Structure 1
């Protein structure tokens, strides 16, 4: 039986939802814009969801943990089913305004969660906007 490949991405809604390169379509798109945006605070404008100060802000000043708890409940159902049925691909996308803070944190946290809970799957993480910018952010 083929191994399930799970692609987890962060992106900016300004640039559009990423397409599924496998051609299967479907998967998940989660909108992080309902979470308070660290990018609105001057000290976080050039940082990302991987920076310790942004992580601390998200985890203490927003409802990101509750948001991701719901995400995990939803994706677990499909991951378990996909493994059992021998599916090969699943797309999980997180979008926010700039693809820099909330979506990056959510994608990284979700990828770690999947790797821990489902060690038999292959997880690939892509940060569409950040990789295009080589992780160099300017204040906006």
Structure 2
């Protein structure tokens, strides 16, 4: 029996660099969320993350995040389906923004949840590099 496709989805801060692919395959996707309006510039959202309702509502209704994430999903699905067909074992999907707190967290959670639901034959893991470095409790998405 072949090994499951492991999909690692991460949020990160471009200030700290794109996360390393520890699988040894090198590469994967790095989506730049900095083109989406930053909720971190709005006082009420500064201490929140992309998992908080106010930030989610803002990103989904006041920015082009829905269009951005739909495009990212379409691109990633092409690789997931190809990797599954060819029995590949690793895919990296990274979302970066300025601080790794709002836009990238939202996008990584959205992507991980989507992939987990659409491709149950794959193992999907989500990591929020900046938030976890602050001992953030990474509740399941």
TM-score (norm 2): 0.95
Q: Does residue 60 of structure 1 match 2:61?
A: yes
Structure 2 CA distance for aligned equivalents of residues 25 and 93 of structure 1 = 13
Superposed counterparts of 1:92-103, under 5 Å: 92-103=93-104
Q: Give the 3-state SS of the residue equivalent to 1:78 in structure 2.
A: helix
Alpha-carbon displacement from aligned partner over 1:75-107 (angstroms, at most 9, x marks no partner): 011000000000000000000000000000000
> Mapping of 1:83-122 within 5 angstroms?
83-122=84-123
Supply the distance in 2 between the matched residues of 1:7 and 1:114 (Cα, whole angstroms): 10
Post-superposition offset of 1:18 = 0.4
Equivalence for 1:16 = 17
2:104 corresponds to 1:132: no
1:15-34 deviations in whole A, cap 9, x for unaligned?
A: 00001011101210000000
For structure 1, the residue ranges without an aligned partner over 5 or more in a row are none
Distance 1:25 1:122 in 2: 19
